[in-house]
Structure 1
Amino acid sequence: MATCKPSSQTGLDSWQSRKSLTECLGHSLENKMFTNVTFKVGREQKCVQAHRQILSIRSGVFEAMFYGPLAEQDEIVIPEVEHDIFEQFLSWPVSKFQVMVCLTKRRNDSYNQGLVVPEMDNASLHRMMKIVIGQDYPAVARALAATHYRRHIPLLDVRHYLGSP
């Protein structure tokens, strides 16, 4: 396992010394060091800082979000995931990042997107799909449940759907 080296400029131990790469990444995220993207998450749209490159290396969804043809340049708003859940997701060790599913629906000249993570409960999954897809989301939920992505969203239950808001 790779480890971070002590600072060669001072000769003193730094926050990086004798720590694994995963520990150094965790420390830099926890202390908001070198972050270069801000998410506004949950209903309150609380700000959460992260590292674009690290997220992109571990997830094709984030790679497309940050570096694809429709790359996000400003703060990224994710109202369907609560702040504490998103913070917990970001704090996972790099080696334990899970597969995520990104739902995208084109409406007129814009795109609605939602990020599905394995820990989302059934109600959150349905709420997010309804926001992104619209009233016809039950068909999308059934189709998603029938694909190989189903193993990445174990809490999805397609027997019950949300009614009108």
Structure 2
Amino acid sequence: MHMYLSQVQDDCFSSLSEHPSTKSWMELAKVCLTQIILFNRRREGEVASIPLSAFSSRDTSDPHEDVDWALSEVEKKLCRHFSRIVIRGKRGRPVPILLTPKMLCALELLVRQREACGVLKDNCYMFTRPEAMTHFRGSVCIRGFAKVCGAKCPKSLTSTRLSMPHLLHLC
């Protein structure tokens, strides 16, 4: 699924760069949302509702003490190489979201093309639906890509099952 999403992201990025349209913007937003959920193994609702302001104020410095406790040793090392968005999770706790350089580039393009592609100025979500005040649902995006990526058991690929090691061989 990761390889499939990477190819789709490349295609959508090129399409949005060359011929900005609402359709190309939506497709890139959906693939980025799905990739971020999978890469970070986070609840889909947390990622889907990332505020644009959180992306705009992303942090590339060393982890702050308030999120350091939430990171594994591997995540702490990754923070040195990736951009980081900190959002609020359950009970207002900080939740770190890591972005690869490729994800960051795609998200920056989405931000630059928002207005040209019909995104309402007042919509505060990163993964907004053009011409609406809501955001895409991560579970719907994951389900859609799971069906078309060639996975042996697409119904098993959900955000709530992402941490199950036996699913790694499915894609």
Q: Same fold (TM over 0.5)?
A: no
Q: Which has the higher helix share?
A: 2
The structure with the largest alpha-carbon Rg is 1
TM-score, L = length of structure 2: 0.26
TM-score, L = length of structure 1: 0.27
Q: Which has the higher strand share?
A: 1
**Structure possessing the higher relative contact order (Cα contacts under 8 Å, 6 or more residues apart):** 2
